[in-house]
Amino acid sequence: MAEEKTVHKHYHYNETDDFASYLEQMAKEGWEFEEWTSGLLFRKAKPADVHYAVDIFPRAKNMDERPEQDTLEFSEYCRAAGWRMVDSKGKFCIFRRIRDDAVPIVSDEERFSNVTKAEAFQRIFMFAFMAVYLVLFLWIMFDVGFPDRTLSKYWHGIVLVWIVLSVMETGKLISFIRWRIMAGRQFSSGEKVYYGNHNRPHWSEGDLAGILIGVFLIALAISDGAVYLAIMLAVVLAIVLIMRIYLGHGRPSRRNKIFIMILITIIVIAIPFMIHLMMK
Amino acid sequence: MAREKFKTLTEPMYYILLALFEERRGIDIMDVVQQISEKRVSVGPGTLYAMLQKFEDNDIIVTTRTEGRQKWYIITERGKQMLLGEMERQRQMLQDGEHVLSKKQ
């Protein structure tokens, strides 16, 4: 029997209660959460009633792959109060209760504020990102200087994919706004706010969708006769995949991740020129 | 600026600053607050950590030393003035309340 397993689940910042419940359920079934890798890594253990707290640490950055200095310092305070930090990623911190008299990590007010700020930033940023690129793609496609692009299957494909992704992102933003209004009312009337959405399956669909979209665009470029473009896309897709695997398993520090991201950006920008030179 | 922001202190703020009249290690403040308030007030680690950062950013407390991930803090002169001002305000409130109630009885 396998001693460990990795589960690919994704939670939003306003789903910390769902996340903690899931970890507690896994512990009951004999799977103890160990750390983040490419997904959530669980190790086989004796079935136990474990109490987890999933909290948002505002000083952490969304890009953090592992606990940074501030988070480690914060974890010392939590340990003294009866919570052992198991792991952290982005602004998520996962704690396991080690004392029955452990006091809550933050007050209800702070929790509400930390969760809503973190999730609002994430949703608005992603929505703006998708919208800006959608406008850019449409502009490139319909710009009078590039009439061939209005007929190109490849550009139709890009715009179609981007519209689908933008609609999905808009759905997430609307869903968050609805949750925020409802939770805000509950909070103001003194009711307990539930941080989660029982109905959402929490699939971690991002990587699979990314691969499918990449392959779809490569196929479109080939059928459009754009060989350079197809090769370029294939190389970019391979680099992005290697980077994703490295980030999941290597878990670089914030500083190293910034360095890697800059390096990848330079490589991706340089690829078209390199391929063009090679094909000459 | 700091005075405006912390014009009135919340209960946890008040007790954290009281605890820092002596130099203390950050993580010990939670226990000290419980002792001072006779277990009436407890401050969570997230609340305390965030509060210490805000106080330090506003020169209300200062880090005296750092050892690994542990830091020691003490209240500054500015913080003391702020705390004493808050105590005076609360004393005044209590006095006013007692004055009004004694007239009614």
Query: With 90 as the cut, is the pLDDT of residue A144 above it?
Result: no
Q: What's the confidence (pLDDT) of residue A156?
A: 80
Compare CB distances from A73 to B42, B43, B69 and report the shortest one's residue. Answer: B69
Query: With 70 as the cut, is the pLDDT of residue A1 above it?
Result: no
Q: What's the confidence (pLDDT) of residue A232?
A: 84
Query: Minimal Cα–Cα distance from B44 to chain A, Å?
Result: 5
| CA–CA distance, A106 with A100 (Å, rounded to integer) | 17
- The answer to whether the Cβ–Cβ distance between A74 and B71 falls below 8 Å is no
Burial A147-161 (b: 16+ CB within 10 A, else e): eebeebebbebbbeb
Residue B56 contacts residue B73 (beta carbons within 8 Å): yes
pLDDT, one tens digit for every residue, chain B (105 residues):
454 667 788 999 999 999 999 999 999 999 999 999 999 999 999 999 999 999 999 999 999 999 988 999 999 999 999 999 999 999 999 999 999 998 877
Supply the DSSP symbol for A194.
P
Query: With 90 as the cut, is the pLDDT of residue A277 above it?
Result: no
**Minimum CA–CA partner of B39 in chain A:** A103
Residue A69: its chain B contacts at CB < 8 A? 69
**Among B86, B74, B69, which residue's Cα sits nearest to residue B9?**
B86
| A contact set with B (CB within 8 A) | 55, 57-59, 69, 72-74, 76-78, 80-81, 83, 103-107, 110
Q: What's the confidence (pLDDT) of residue B50?
A: 94
Compare CB distances from A76 to B27, B42, B53 and report the shortest one's residue. Answer: B27
Q: What's the confidence (pLDDT) of residue B1?
A: 47
**Among A74, A77, A71, A9, which residue's Cα sits nearest to residue A37?**
A9
Residues 6+ apart with CB under 8 A from A198: A18
| One-letter amino acid of B61 | I
Residue B70: its chain A contacts at CB < 8 A? 76
**Radius of gyration of chain B from its Cα atoms, rounded to whole angstroms:** 16
Query: Minimal Cα–Cα distance from B96 to chain A, Å?
Result: 30
Residue B4 contacts residue A55 (beta carbons within 8 Å): no
Compare CB distances from A81 to B44, B50, B71 and report the shortest one's residue. Answer: B44
What is the per-residue pLDDT across A75-103, written as a single tens digit (0 to 9) for each? 999 999 999 999 999 999 999 999 999 99
Residue B50: its chain A contacts at CB < 8 A? 58, 106, 110
For residues A140-144, give the mean pLDDT.
70
Q: What is the pTM of this model?
A: 0.86
For residues A271-280, give the mean pLDDT.
71
**Among A126, A154, A151, A150, which residue's Cα sits nearest to residue A138?**
A150
Residue B44: its chain A contacts at CB < 8 A? 81, 103-107
Per-residue confidence at A274, pLDDT binned at 50, 70, 90?
A: confident
- The answer to whether the Cβ–Cβ distance between B45 and A83 falls below 8 Å is yes
Question: Percentage of residues in chain A with pLDDT exceeding 90?
Answer: 58
| B contact set with A (CB within 8 A) | 26-28, 30, 42-50, 53, 69-71
What is the per-residue pLDDT across A40-73, written as a single tens digit (0 to 9) for each? 999 999 999 999 999 999 999 999 999 999 999 9
Query: Minimal Cα–Cα distance from B95 to chain A, Å?
Result: 31
- The answer to whether the Cβ–Cβ distance between B69 and A76 falls below 8 Å is yes
Distance of CA A164 to the CA centre of its chain: 18
- The answer to whether the Cβ–Cβ distance between A73 and B44 falls below 8 Å is no
Residue B46: its chain A contacts at CB < 8 A? 55, 57, 74, 77-78, 105-106, 110
Number of other CB atoms surrounding residue B29 within 10 Å: 24
Phi, psi angle pair for A12, to nearest 5°: -85, 165
| CA–CA distance, A33 with A250 (Å, rounded to integer) | 18
Compare CB distances from B26 to A77, A103, A105 and report the shortest one's residue. Answer: A77
Q: What's the confidence (pLDDT) of residue B20?
A: 97
Residue B12 contacts residue A103 (beta carbons within 8 Å): no
Q: What's the confidence (pLDDT) of residue A172?
A: 92
Q: What's the confidence (pLDDT) of residue A268?
A: 81
Work out the mean pLDDT of chain A and round it to a whole number: 89
Indicate the angle between helix axes A108-142 and B45-57, nearest 10 degrees.
Answer: 70
Residue A96 contacts residue A50 (beta carbons within 8 Å): yes
What is the per-residue pLDDT across A19-32, written as a single tens digit (0 to 9) for each? 999 999 999 999 99
> Which has more pLDDT, A38 or A59?
A59
| One-letter amino acid of A104 | P
**Minimum CA–CA partner of A58 in chain B:** B50
